[in-house]
Structure 1
Amino acid sequence: MNLLSRRQWFEQVSAPALATTVGVALLGSEANAATPTPANDDKLLGAKIYNIRDFGAKGDGTSLDTAAVQTAIDAAHRDKGGTVLVPAGDFIVGTIELKSNVTLHLAVQGRLLGSTQRKDYQDGKGVPSGNGNIVMLFAANADNVTIEGRGTIDGNGGTFYTGKGDGTGPGGQVGGNVDRPHLVIFYKCNNLVVRDTFFTRSAYHCFRILQCKYVNIQGVRIYNRINKNNDGFHFNSSQHVHVSNCDVACQDDACALFGSNQFVTITNCTFSTRWSIFRFGGGEAQNIAVTNCLIYETYGCPIKISAGRAQIENLTFSNIVMRNVTGPIGIGFGRKGNGGNTSQSEENERQSFVRNIVFNSIRATVVPRPVNHPDIPFEVSVYDGEVNSCITLNGMGDAYLENISFTDVHVTYAGGGTAAQAAKRDVPQITSEYFGVWGTAPFGPPAYGLYARNVKGLTLQNVRLEYEQPDLRPAVVFDNVQDASIASLNVQGNPDAESVMRFTRSKDVLLSATRVLTPAKVFLQLEGTDSEGIIIDGGDLRKASKVLAATNGAKESAAKVRG
C-alpha cells in the first residue's frame, strides 16, 4: 500500500480547489479570463469552488449580477455540490435561488446588495404566499444548503418603504404592504447551516424558515431596522432547530416561533427590538429551550405567547437578563382563538392547552413605557396597555394555563401605577396581544408585578418584585388561580395601596417564607365568595399593618395564618 504524507495529500487534493479560489491573486490578469473547471473533471465533484466573477459578476455596485450568481449556483448544483464564492465587491442582485448541496460563501469584503428595482425580484419558486413570498435569496425543497462567511447580505430595504406595514400586527392597516422582498426564505429544506454572516436592511422579514428540519444557525449578526415588519428570525413549523451565538437588533419580532416548532434550542444570543423577542402563536409548539440570552431595549414583551387553538408545552426560559423592557412576559390563552367563533365540534376534534412552562434565573428591569429607538427611521405608536406593564398570565373562559413556574426571578419595575389601575377588576377576554388586555380604561394592569387569571399549578420560588417609584397597585393579583405554591416571595408594599396581594376565586394556595420589604396596609386581600384553602405559613410580614383582609363577600375563614 502506498501511503501519502499529510503534505503530499494536501498538495494533491487541495491545490486545485485553492487555485480556483485564489486564481486571480496567483495567476494575474490571465485568471480574469479563466473559465470554470469543466463538469467532467470528477476529481473534485461536490467540492469545487465557483467564483462568481468567473461567471461574469462585476461586483462594481452598479451592474446587475443576478444572472452570474445564479449561473454559478446552478453549476455547483449540477456538479453534485460545491462552494459558490462571493469575493470582495458589491454585487447587486435580485431574486437568487439556492440549491441542494451548495454552500454560498461570502468573503469578508464580499456583499450581495439587493437591487432597488421591484422588477428584479420574483416570488420564490415553490414558496407559499403567506406574508408574501417575494424574496432576495431562497431555497425550497432543498437539502444541505449553507450560507457562511463573514461578508454581508444587504437587502437595501429602505428603498421599499411606503409607511405601511403588512397589516398583521396590532392596529394593522387594510391593504398592508406585502409587495416587497424578504431577505432569506427557506421552505421545506433539510440540513441547513447559516454561520458567521451579517444580514441587514431587509425590505421585509430577514429570515423566514418554514417547515424545515435540522437547522443550525450560529454566529450570525442581524441589523434590521430600515422598514416596518423587520423581523429577525421567523420560524414556522420547523423541527430540530439550533440557534447560538447570534446578535439580533431589529424592528419587529426578533425570534418569532409560529406554528408547530419542535425540538428547538436558542442559546448565547443578544436581542433588541421594538416588539417582541420570543413570540409564539398557535400550532404545536413543544420542547423548546431558551438559555443564556441577553435582551435589551425591547418594548412589546420579550417573551410573548398568544394562542387560541394550540398545543403548547415543555418550554423553558433560563439564565436570561432583560434590560429596559416592557412586558416582560405575557401569556394569553383562550381555546376559541382570537375571533372567539370556534364551533364545539372543532374544539372536540383538537384538545388545546398551554402547559409546562418554566422561567428560571431571570433578571429584568421594566421601564414605564416604550420609547422610540433612535435608529428606527419612523415613529412607533405606544399602545395604552404597554404603560406600567407587568408579567401577565391570562387564561380566558374555560381555558387554563397549567404548570407554570418561576424560580429565582428578580424584576425591578419603574412603578408609578395609579389607584385607578389598581381598582380594575373586570379584565377583558382578549388573547391577541398581551397589552391589548390592558388597553381599556383605566389603562394598565391592576398589578405592578404579576397578574394571573385561570392558572392551575402555579409555582413561585425565590421571586423578588420591586419598584423604583411608588406604586399603588398590588404586587400580585390572582383571579381563579388553583393549586399554587409560593415560597420565598419578596415584594414591596405601599401604605397607601389597598394591599400587597389580592386573591379572587382562588383555591389551594400555600404561601411560605414570604417577606414584605416596605410598609404596607394589608398583606393579602381576599375578594368574592369562591376562595378557599389559602394558607399563609410563616415569613416576615411585620411591615404589613394587617396580614389578612376580606372584602366583597369574601370570608377571612377562607385563609389560615400560621406562624
Structure 2
Amino acid sequence: MTNYPTGEASGLSRRAWLQKISMPALATAGACALPSMVLGASAPAKENQPGIYDIRRYGARGDGQTNDTAAIQRAIDECHQQRGGTVLVPVGDYLCGTLELKSNVTLHLAVGGRILGSPRREDYQAPAAIPPGNGNVVFLFAANAENVCIEGSGTIDGDGIHFNNGKGDGTGPGGQKGGNFDRPHLVIFYRCRHIGIKDTFFTRSAYHCFRILECREVNIRGVRIYNRVNRNNDGFHFNSSQHIHISDCDVACQDDGCALFGSNQFVTITNCTFSTRWSVFRFGSGEVKNITVSNCIIYDTYGCPIKIGAGKSKIENLLFSNIVMENVTGPIGIGFNAGNYNDTFVRNISFNNIRASLVTKPVNHPDIPFDVKPFEGEQYSCITLNGVGNSYLENISFTDVQITAAGGGTAAMAAKEVPAVSVEYFGVWGSAPAGAGAYGLYARNVKGLTLQNVRLTYREPDLRPALVLDNVSDAAFHALSIQGHPDATALRFINSQDVLCTATRLLSDARTFLQVKGDRSDNIIIEGGDHRKAQQALQGSLSAVQIK
C-alpha cells in the first residue's frame, strides 16, 4: 500500500494534498466527484484546474440579468479544444440563449447553479445541423458529437412561459394549421453517441424538454423533469435511437411523457414516475423492437398511458411489467392499420403485473395553465386492441393484470358497434357514443391473445360487457375474473374462433355470462370456472360453444 505524505514534513497542507491528487483524476473521470469546496466556491480560481473549466473565468456573471451565452460557450469551446473535460456551472443564475455542447464535454451544474433561458426569441438559434422536424429552435444542443454529459444537482430552466401564445404545434389530435414551432426546445441531441444525463433538474421548456434524435448509447439516470408551462411540453421524445437506458427519473409534463417515434430499438426504462395530460409511453410508426418498461408508476395521466399507433410499421418484442397506474384514462391502446403495405406487423407484446385504476374522463391538472378539454372518446375508456381491415395484432398477452374502471357505462354504449377506424384510441370511441365497447378490454383483429389471472371490475354499475372479442382467433383465457351487472352481458364474442376459457369466474350477478354473435364464430370452449351468478350461461350462436 502506498503512503502519501501530508503535513509540515511534506510541505503540503491537507487541502493542497487533496487537490493535488484529485484534480488529475477529475480531468480523466469527469466531475462526478468534484470536491464540495470547488463546487461551492463563490469566486473562480485564478487558473483552471486541470480538466475543469469554470464558466466564471470566461466572464459569466450569474446574476440572472446579464446574458452569459458567449462566456459559457467560450468555456465549452476551450474544453472541447483541449480534448475534453468538465465545464463547471457554479452557484448562480446564468441567463443565456442557445448553447452548443461538443464532444468530450461534461457540463456539471453545481447545487444552486442554474442555466436560465432568455425570454427573448432573438437569443435562440435554429442550428443548420439539426433537421427542422417539430422545429429546431433550441436552448442546449449537440449534433454529431460523442461523449457528451450533463450532470450535477443544478437546474436547466427554459423559462418557456414567455413563448406561450395559446397555440400548440398542430401535430396532435385536432391540431390546427399554422402551429407554433418558433420556440425553443430545452435540449436536443442529434446523431450523437455515448450521451450521459444524470441528476439534473430540467424545467419550464417552451416546447419539448428532451429531443433525442438518431442517437446511440444514451444513459439517463436520476433526472427530474417538470414541464407544464406550454402546449406540447413533452418530457422525453426519442426518434430512431438505439441502446437507450432510462432509470430513476421523475417526470411531470403536459404532453407525452416518453414518446418513442420512428425506429427505436434496444431500450430499457425502469424505476420511474410519470404524470401528464396526454400519454406516457407513446409509439409511432417505424421499425420498433426490443423494448422493456418495468417498475414504473403512472399517475394523473390522460390520453392513454401506453399508446401504440402503427401504420407502415414493424413493431415487436415490447414488454411492460410491474406498472401501477392511478387516475388514468385508457389505460392501454394499440391500433394497427397497415393499409396496402407488405411486411408490416405488430406482434409479441406483453403486459405483466399491471394495476390500473381508471377515471371516467380527464380532469384539469391544477398546475397546467389551460383547460384539458377532453375528447368525447376519452370518456369511459378501456384497454383497446384495434386491428383494422386486413391488419392483425399478433401474440398479445396480459398476465396478472387488475383493472378497476370507474363504471357508469349505459345500455346504449353497450349496444353500439365500434367503428372500424384507425385513429388514436379516443378517436375510435369518439366515432360512437363515449365508452362504446367494453369497460375492461376490447379486442378486434387479434391472432394469439392470452389472458392469465386478469381481473376486470368497476366502482360504479356498468351495463357494458367486461370483455369484447371481435374477429379474434387463437385466444386462451385462464383465471379470468370479471364483474357483471344484473341487466347486462359479461362477455361478448363476435366472429371469433378457437377460444379456450378455463377457470373463468363471474364475481357478481349478470344477465348472461357469454353472448356469442356472428356466423364465423367457432370452437369456443368453456372449461370449468364459476358462472353461477349469471341468469343464463349462454346467448346467441350456441353451436359455436362447448361447455366442459
Tell me: CA distance 1:560–1:417, structure 2 relative to 1, closer, same or farther (3 Å).
Answer: same
Structure 2 counterpart of 1:143, one-letter code: E
Distance 2:145 2:83 in 1: 13
Match of 2:375 in 1: 383
In structure 1, give the amino acid aligned to 2:453.
N
Percent identity, please.
66
In 2, are the aligned partners of 1:189 and 1:211 still within 8 Å (CA)? yes
CA distances 1:382-426 after superposition (whole Å, capped 9, x unpaired): 000001000000000000000000000001000000111101124
SS of match in other structure, 1:126: coil
Residues 510, 52 of structure 1: alpha-carbon distance in 2 compared, 3 angstrom cutoff: same
Secondary structure at the counterpart of residue 144 of structure 1: strand
For 2:290, the aligned partner's letter is N
Aligned with 2:477 (options 481, 486, 498): 486
**Runs of 5+ in structure 2 lacking a partner?**
7-16
Secondary structure of the structure 1 residue equivalent to 2:312: coil
CA deviations 1:525-559 (Å, max 9, x no partner) are 01111100000101000001111110xxxx31111
Given the alignment of the two structures, is residue 63 of structure 1 paired with residue 54 of structure 2, yes or no? no
Residue 520 of structure 1 is matched in structure 2 by: 510
Offset at residue 25 of structure 1 (A): 7.3
Residue among 467, 475, 487 paired with 1:476: 467
Residue in 2 that maps onto 1:34: 46
> Which residue, out of 80, 83, 88, partners 1:85?
88
- Deviations 1:43-92, CA, capped at 9 Å, x for gaps: x4xxx110100100000000000000000000100000000000000000
Whether contact under 8 Å (1:125, 1:140) holds in the other structure is no
Give the one of 364, 383, 393 matched to 1:372: 364
Distance 1:327 1:401, change over 3 A: same
Q: Name 1:558's counterpart in structure 2.
A: 544
**Which of 488, 491, 502 is equivalent to 1:501?**
491
The superposition leaves residues 82-125 of structure 1 with CA deviations (integer Å, 9 ceiling, x where unpaired) of: 00000000000100000000000000100000000000000134
**Do residues 534 (structure 1) and 520 (structure 2) align?**
no
What's the offset of the Cα at 1:32? 5.2
Cα distance between partner residues in 2 of 1:74 and 1:423 = 66
Secondary structure in 2 matching 1:285: strand
How many residues align structurally? 533
* Cα distance, 1:27 vs structure 2: 13
- SS at 2:413's partner residue? helix
User: Contact 2:419 / 2:432 at 8 angstroms: preserved in 1?
Assistant: no
- Which residue of the other structure, out of 249, 253, 258, is the alignment partner of 1:250? 253
Contact 1:299/1:370 (8 A) holds in 2: yes
Aligned partner of 1:549 in structure 2 is 539
Q: 2:145 aligns with which of 136, 142, 149?
A: 142
Partner of 2:232: 229
Distance 1:156 1:11, change over 3 A: closer
Q: For residue 434 of structure 1, what is the aligned residue in structure 2?
A: 425
Structure 2 matches for 1:222-301, cutoff 5 A?
A: 222-301=225-304
Per the alignment, residue 403 of structure 1 pairs with 395
Q: 4+ runs of 1 displaced by more than 6 Å?
A: 16-29
CA distance in 2, matches of 1:454, 1:18: 57
Residues 262 and 6 of structure 1: is their aligned pair in 2 closer, same or farther, counting only changes over 3 Å? farther
How high is the TM-score relative to the length of structure 2? Answer: 0.94
Map 1:188-207 → 2, pairs under 5 A: 188-207=191-210
Q: Judging changes above 3 Å, is the alpha-carbon distance between structure 1 residues 53 and 401 closer, same or farther for their aligned structure 2 residues? A: same
Distance in 1, Cα, partners of 2:280 & 2:4: 48
Query: Are the structure 2 counterparts of residues 117 and 545 from structure 1 closer, same or farther at C-alpha, using a change threshold of 3 Å?
Result: same
User: How far 1:24 sits from its partner (Å)?
Assistant: 9.3
Q: CA deviation at 1:381?
A: 1.4
Deviation at 1:318, TM superposition (A): 0.2
Taking the aligned partners of 1:94 and 1:201, their CA distance within structure 2 comes to 14
Partner residue in 1 for 2:455: 464
In 2 relative to 1, CA 53–559 (structure 1 residues): closer, same or farther, beyond 3 Å? same
C-alpha distance 22-482 of structure 1, shift in aligned 2 (>3 A): closer
User: Which one of 110, 113, 135 corresponds to residue 110 of structure 1?
Assistant: 113
Q: CA RMSD in A?
A: 2.1
Question: 1:275 and 1:141 mapped to 2: Cα distance?
Answer: 31
C-alpha distance in 1 between matches for 2:338 and 2:68: 50
Is the 8 Å Cα contact of residues 404 and 457 (structure 1) preserved in structure 2? yes
Deviations 1:471-517 (A, max 9, x none): 000000110000000000000111111x1011111000000100000
Provide structure 1 residue ranges, at least 5 long, that are not aligned to the other structure: 38-43, 337-343
Please give the secondary structure, in 1, of the residue aligned with 2:335.
strand
* Cα 1:16/1:447, change in 2 over 3 Å: closer
**Equivalent position SS for 1:500:** strand
TM-score w.r.t. the length of structure 1 is 0.92
Task: Find the counterpart in structure 1 of residue 9 from structure 2.
Answer: none
Give the residue type in structure 2 aligned to 1:448: Y
State whether residues 40 and 91 of structure 2, in contact with CA within 8 Å, keep that contact through their aligned partners in structure 1. no
Q: Cα–Cα, structure 1 residues 237 and 6, in superposed 2: closer, same or farther, change >3 Å?
A: farther
Contact 1:36–1:55 (CA under 8 A) maintained in structure 2: no
Match of 1:152 among 152, 155, 158: 155
Q: Which residue of 2 aligns with 1:340?
A: none
Query: What is the CA–CA distance in structure 2 between the aligned matches of 1:502 and 1:126, rounded to whole Å?
Result: 54
Structure 1: distance between partners of 2:535 and 2:5: 82
Shift of 1:430: 1.9
Distance in 2, matches of 1:183 and 1:529, equals 56
Contact map agreement 1:17 1:49 (CA 8 A) in 2: no
Residues 1:302 and 2:314 are matched in the alignment: no
Residue 406 of structure 2: aligned partner: 414
State the one-letter code of the partner of 2:493: F
> Aligned equivalents of 1:26 and 1:491: distance in 2?
58
Distance (Å, rounded) in 1 between the aligned partners of 2:37 and 2:3 = 29
Distance 1:469 1:36, change over 3 A: same
Deviation, 1:10, is 5.6
Pair 28,83 (structure 1): closer, same or farther in 2 beyond 3 Å: closer
Cα shift readout 1:269-292 (whole Å, capped 9, x = no counterpart): 000000000000100110000000
Cα distance in structure 2, aligned partners of 1:102 and 1:167:
35
Instruction: Give the letter for the 1:529 counterpart.
Output: D
Provide the secondary structure at the position in 2 that maps to 1:415: coil
| d(CA) in 1 for partners of 2:473, 2:518 | 15
Cα deviations by residue, 1:191-245 (Å, 9 ceiling, x for unpaired): 1000000000000000000111110000000000000000000011110000000
SS at 1:14 equivalent: helix
Give the deviation of 1:366 after TM superposition: 0.3
Q: Render the CA deviation track for 1:8-58: whole Å, top value 9, x for unaligned.
A: 8966442578899889979999x6583546xxxxxx4xxx11010010000
1:393 match: secondary structure: strand
Matched, 1:446 2:437: yes
Aligned to 1:208: 211
Query: Quick one: structure 1 residues 62 and 265, their matched pair in 2 at CA, closer, same or farther if it must change by over 3 Å?
Result: same
C-alpha contact 2:418 2:437 (8 A) present in aligned 1: no
Conserved? CA contact 2:41–2:90, under 8 Å: no
Aligned equivalent of 2:13: none
Q: 1:326 to 1:22 in 2, by over 3 A?
A: closer
SS at match of 1:83: strand
